[in-house]
């Protein structure tokens, strides 16, 4: 049986029965607030003490708490209770005290309100085991950027202690539905500080970040059919990219940002096309009689992974980015959709339907080995963090909609519990350039 391309495009839209909602409703509040709940225990977590920053009690944001949540959510760190005494960046700590607390590293800092209304945020990182100063930085920021400063500190700490780049100052895009109102949000990597980029009484689906993090492509049904737009995140301006006859859906950017792979039904069935980021005439990539959709580029841009029901049920395939013969990639189960490739090209995350449950799977591409890494049954739309160490996805947990992050082994999960609507289709943005 053929599948509706809108269903293959987003299993969450099918299972939540929301694709045809039409009526208008009041808009969502300007901010969608989240809280982070971390669960699970990793095998090699680094114990770190985050001492309250001097002056943060009078700050609108508790910087040390934000950093702690960032590091715990990464799965690489375990917070050591620091006590109540503040420590700023000029303090020379007594390392023997922190060794007794079993801390391997230590962070202190300060938050100072300046006469012009901005805040001076400073910190210093210490290696407790080696009694070594690992450096620090300072940021002078407006009130609205205090959380960003905290995320940048988290990035510094993560990179110094793991040797890998942190993703805490990157951004997420996701969709909510509240009543019959759909909204596209851009938020911090922890889900906080969400800003509405677009609201509509018609469905909005499939947000996709440009490689430079400045633009989002998405599908809007505001003209009562799926049409692809490209949205400038900083200015809010947008432009029409694809409004051909039939359906225009599933945009994804090429790694160089010059083109997008899209699904169009302009010539009959839903097929993959390549279209310039500036618009124009698309070039057809697939020539099947089936539904081909949900393209995802490999990190080097040489291949495209996509979903097709050419074998009778939705499975994931791979073909050259210029088009050509496709090879089937997914073999576990008879319904596999929503492919997302890790930035190093090693892992493929996707959603598999098993016994009526939608579950997040992670495949090692070279070996084909697959692991189911969640205990939920309503997962959708995985998206890798730009360092490849976490996956964000939407699900339902405890009867509530949620955005979740998970480590690739599923051992550490963090729930980003939203307010004001059903959550879906998260997309993790790139490193800021």
Task: Give the rounded distance of the alpha carbon of 266 from its chain centre.
Answer: 31
CA pair distance 99, 82, nearest whole angstrom: 12
Beta bridge partners of 17: none
Query: Residue 1 contacts by C-beta under 8 Å, 6 or more apart in sequence?
Result: none
Q: What are the tens digits of pLDDT across the range 77-101?
A: 999 998 878 889 999 999 999 999 9
Residue with the two structure tokens 């909005």: 204
CA pair distance 420, 417, nearest whole angstrom: 10
CB 426 within 8 A of CB 382: no
Q: Sign (positive/negative) of CA torsion 198, 202, 208, 210?
A: negative
DSSP letter (8 states) at residue 151:
H
The reported pTM is: 0.90
Residue 101, Cβ density class (10 Å: 0-12 exposed, 13-18 middle, ≥19 buried): middle
Q: What is the CA angle 162-132-432, rounded to 5?
A: 40
- pLDDT value of position 12: 38
- pLDDT value of position 397: 82
Cα–Cα nearest to 389, from 148, 34, 70, 49: 70
CB 394 within 8 A of CB 401: yes
Q: Which two tokens stand for residue 25?
A: 């409703």
Task: Give the rounded distance of the alpha carbon of 176 from its chain centre.
Answer: 14
Return the SS3 of 58.
helix
Q: What are the tens digits of pLDDT across the range 16-63?
A: 332 222 222 233 333 334 445 566 665 578 999 999 999 999 999 999
Cα–Cα nearest to 21, from 424, 357, 432: 424
- Backbone angle region of 69, left / alpha / beta, with phi > 0 → left and psi within -120 to 50 → alpha: alpha
Q: Which residues of the chain have pLDDT under 70?
A: 1-43, 417-420
- Backbone angle region of 387, left / alpha / beta, with phi > 0 → left and psi within -120 to 50 → alpha: alpha
CA pair distance 80, 15, nearest whole angstrom: 42
Q: Which two tokens stand for residue 247?
A: 């359906």
Integer-rounded Cα radius of gyration of the chain: 22
CA pair distance 288, 96, nearest whole angstrom: 68
Cα–Cα nearest to 328, from 310, 353, 302: 310
Q: What are the tens digits of pLDDT across the range 344-396?
A: 999 999 999 988 899 999 999 999 999 999 999 999 999 999 999 999 999 98
Cβ count near 129 (within 10 Å): 12
């Amino acid at each position: 049986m053929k599948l509706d391309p809108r269903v293959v495009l987003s299993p969450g839209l099918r299972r939540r029965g929301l694709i045809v909602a039409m009526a208008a409703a009041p808009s969502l509040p300007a901010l969608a607030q989240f809280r982070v709940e971390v669960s699970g225990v990793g095998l090699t977590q680094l114990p770190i003490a985050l001492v309250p920053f001097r002056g943060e009690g009078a700050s609108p944001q508790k910087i040390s708490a934000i950093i702690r949540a960032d590091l715990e959510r990464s799965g690489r760190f375990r917070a050591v209770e620091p006590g109540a005494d503040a420590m700023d960046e000029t303090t020379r700590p007594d390392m023997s005290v922190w060794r007794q607390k079993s801390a391997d590293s230590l962070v202190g800092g300060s938050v100072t309100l300046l006469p012009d209304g901005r805040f001076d945020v400073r910190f210093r990182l210490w290696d407790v085991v080696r009694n070594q100063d690992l450096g620090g930085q300072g940021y002078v920021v407006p009130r609205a950027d205090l959380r960003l400063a905290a995320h940048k500190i988290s990035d510094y700490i993560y990179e110094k202690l793991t040797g890998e780049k942190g993703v805490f100052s990157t951004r997420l895009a996701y969709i909510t539905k509240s009543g019959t109102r759909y909204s596209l949000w851009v938020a911090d990597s922890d889900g906080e500080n969400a800003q509405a980029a677009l609201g509509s009484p018609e469905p909005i689906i499939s947000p996709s970040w440009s490689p430079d993090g400045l633009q989002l492509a998405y599908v809007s049904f505001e003209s009562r059919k799926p049409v692809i737009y490209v949205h400038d995140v900083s200015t809010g301006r947008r432009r029409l990219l694809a409004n051909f006859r039939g359906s225009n859906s599933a945009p994804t950017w090429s790694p160089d940002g010059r083109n997008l792979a899209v699904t169009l039904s302009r010539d009959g069935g839903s097929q993959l096309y390549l279209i310039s980021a500036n618009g124009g005439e698309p070039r057809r990539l697939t020539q099947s009689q089936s539904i081909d959709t949900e393209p995802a580029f490999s990190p080097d841009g040489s291949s495209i992974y996509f979903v097709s029901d050419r074998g009778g049920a939705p499975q994931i395939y791979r073909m050259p980015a210029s088009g050509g013969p496709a090879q089937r990639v997914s073999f576990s189960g008879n319904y596999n959709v929503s492919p997302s490739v890790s930035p190093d090209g090693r892992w493929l995350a996707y959603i598999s339907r098993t016994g009526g449950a939608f579950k997040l799977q992670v495949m090692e591409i070279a070996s084909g080995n697959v692991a189911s890494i969640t205990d939920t049954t309503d997962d959708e739309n995985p998206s890798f963090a730009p360092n490849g160490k976490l996956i964000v996805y939407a699900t339902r947990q405890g009867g509530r909609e949620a955005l979740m992050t998970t480590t690739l082994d599923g051992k550490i999960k963090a729930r980003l519990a939203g307010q004001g609507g059903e959550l879906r289709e998260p997309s993790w943005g790139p490193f800021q350039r």
